[in-house]
Amino acid sequence: MKWQGIVGQYESAEEFAARFYAEGHYLIDSPRQLKLEKAISEGTYAEAAAVTNCGMAAIGSVLEALVTRRKGILFSNSLFPGTQRLAESYQQKGFYVRFTDPTRLDEVKEHLRSYPFSLYFFEIIGNSMEMPVVDWYETMKVLAGTGAKAVVDTTFVPVFHPFLQKNGKVEVIEVASMSKWETVSDAVAGGRISGSAERIAQIKNSSHYRQVCMQPEIAERISLGRLEKVFPFLSVLALDAARVLEESPGVAKVYYPRLASHPQYSLTEKQFNSSGGGVLYLVLKGGEEAAKLADLLSHCPFWSIAPSFGAEDWRIFPYIGELQKYASVPGLVRIAAGETVGAVKALEKALEKL
């Protein structure tokens, strides 16, 4: 008979007992989880996949599986603050950790020549003010023959690209948060890992993964179909917003990979099929204006102040007060496109009031 509750993922008491007693953890490899992982592995052109309870858990699981004392860890210097803190924690524990500019391949190459690194971790579009875009093919050429694995965070450009796994010379592990484009609810959080079957098995067999694996009920609420449908639409709206901001006299600078003013504009057009993602950064003239813009937009029905993105509503996140320590300049704001077209008009009106 079918069981109810947490064991409802199994067909029988025998199957549940085998997983719980013999294999050590009843959540790992449940049918719901395996179904989602199969869809992810197929979508990311990888042999296998694993899912976790959040994006940071996915990153942590990969690092715990790959990092050794004998080899160093090379990180991009343009990272999500949570990843930055994780990198620094390894440094504090005595691991050999170095940071590099992901757009300067000569610098990346010099690091890889100077020390044996187990991996190079980078975001393919950086979650920082400048939003640096990594040249994938040239970076793989630099990594080839060094023994370092490529761990790439694709949260900002989550659409699936076959070139990530199909390079032949460098082992690639892809990670991403699934708390964004794949679900309309902020209460649903998840992370994903893609790579070789051997590497995914190694990660799943670790004690760390057992602590952060995804709940089966969450796996059912994550939709890759929504990602594939919504993300291109949000990318178009983000570009519309970026162009409006670039024309505003109150805006000092706009950072978005599909603006011609972005240093890697041509690379973005070529590498990501003209998709720059759904998030952008801007710097307002005068630090206090960041708070004012956020306050004005928060009164609009389709805007909210929030640090996440990929939701139905538009999100604004001003780096003010204590948050300024995470901003390289005063007046920094992050905007994430939502699914409401009229939100760009509201943005225009709010800018006029600054």
Tell me, yes or no, whether 257 and 321 share the same domain.
Answer: yes
Per-residue pLDDT reduced to its tens digit, 297-350: 999 989 999 888 877 889 999 998 777 777 888 999 999 999 888 899 999 999
pTM value is 0.89
Q: Pick the more confident residue, 325 or 291.
A: 291
List the CATH number of the domain containing 69. 3.40.640.10
Q: What is the pLDDT of residues 20-43, one digit of tens each?
A: 554 545 578 888 889 999 999 998
Clarify whether residues 61 and 154 are in a common domain: yes
335: CATH = 3.90.1150.10
Same domain, 311 and 184: no
Its domain, for residue 72, covers 5-221
pLDDT digits (tens, 9 = 90+) for 61-120: 999 999 999 999 999 999 998 999 999 999 999 999 999 999 999 999 999 999 999 999
Residues 6+ apart with CB under 8 A from 193: 49, 50, 51, 52, 58, 61, 62, 173, 174, 175, 200, 203
The overall average pLDDT reported for the chain is 88
DSSP 3-51: PPGGGGGSSSHHHHHIIIIISS-SSTT-HHHHHHHHHHHHHTT-SEEEE
Residues 213 and 340 in one domain: no
Mean pLDDT of 258-271: 94
Q: What are phi and psi of 195, to 5 degrees?
A: 175, -160
What residues contact 155, with CB distance under 8 A and at least 6 apart? 55, 80, 123, 127, 176, 177, 180
Note whether 143 and 256 are same-domain residues.
no
Query: Are residue 191 and residue 215 in the same domain, yes or no?
Result: yes
CB–CB of 114/71 below 8 Å?
no
Domains contained in the chain, number? 2
Burial of 317 (0-12, 13-18, 19+ CB in 10 A): buried
Which of 221, 243, 268 is a domain's end point? Answer: 221
Residue 264 sits in the same domain as residue 280: yes
pLDDT of residue 103: 97
